[in-house]
Amino acid sequence: MRPINNMSVLVTGGGSGLGEGIARHFCAVGARVTISGRRRDKIEAVAASIGESCRAVVSDVTDPAGRSAMVAAAVEHGNGRLDVLVNNAGNMYRGPLAELQEQALIEVFRSNVIGAMMLTQAALPHLVASAGCVVFMGSVHSQRAFPGASPYAATKGAVETLTAVLAAELGPQGVRVSCVRPGGVFTELNQRAGLFDDAVARDRLEGLAPAHALGRLGTSAEIAEAVEYLARAEWTTGAVMTVDGGLGLGVTNA
């Protein structure tokens, strides 16, 4: 396993939810982490609360200049290195196909697939130099059908296919590419997407807990542990690690 002390890590969408949890975890175990996001107040507050091991850069994965800024900031903060790229930033659309507007579909793909893919390209020279690792954030939506979530599910299916192709393409250059497929974890993305009414968001999501074989929702810390494993496991690439409490099994513990 690769040592994590002083590892340089870039986490997109690090101002809340899974991204924040991943950033906090990596900093706690000795890495130097750069988080990116569009909301200055969010990412700067997270970085300040973590301390000197975490740096924030305000940027958007859908913007070419923003992607370059993220990579440059991570390399600077990482003392000239970038070891791990965590493609976590994402967008979600909730609604039936009959009401779907093409622009909404485009925006979800721009964030979840195109932005992540092009950021990986921007980071590639540094990842080759460090024999580094890319971790994409997938979703149980790619394996289990949730009506009304077709755009999001389609992007996560694309991300998992992209993981396999890039693992094969970049492996000869020493770069490992894998993916984490989370189950039900309460995040701001779920709430902003309108999956749950703001006033009862947590109660509604927790109502899905029986659909998980382990009978409960996951935490961002548990997802972060999986990301750390993939970042350190030097003979693992092309993997899609399911960390979903058994949600994908289709069981009900009601």
- Residue 67 resides in a domain: yes
CATH number of domain containing 83: 3.40.50.720
Q: Is the pLDDT of residue 199 over 70?
A: no
- Residue 250 resides in a domain: no
Helix ranges restricted to H, 131-237 = 150-170, 188-192, 201-206, 220-232
- Residue 1 resides in a domain: no
Provide the annotated active-site residues. Answer: 152
pLDDT tens digits, one per residue of 53-98: 999 999 999 999 999 999 999 999 999 999 999 999 999 888 999 9
- Residue 2 resides in a domain: no
Range of the domain at 210: 8-243
Tally the domains of the chain.
1
Q: What percent of the chain has pLDDT over 70?
A: 91
- Residue 224 resides in a domain: yes
- Residue 49 resides in a domain: yes
- Residue 253 resides in a domain: no
- Residue 129 resides in a domain: yes
pLDDT tens digits, one per residue of 104-117: 999 999 999 999 99
Measured at the CA of 91, the angle between CA 87 and CA 92, to 5 degrees, comes to 130
Are the beta carbons of 131 and 227 closer than 8 angstroms?
no
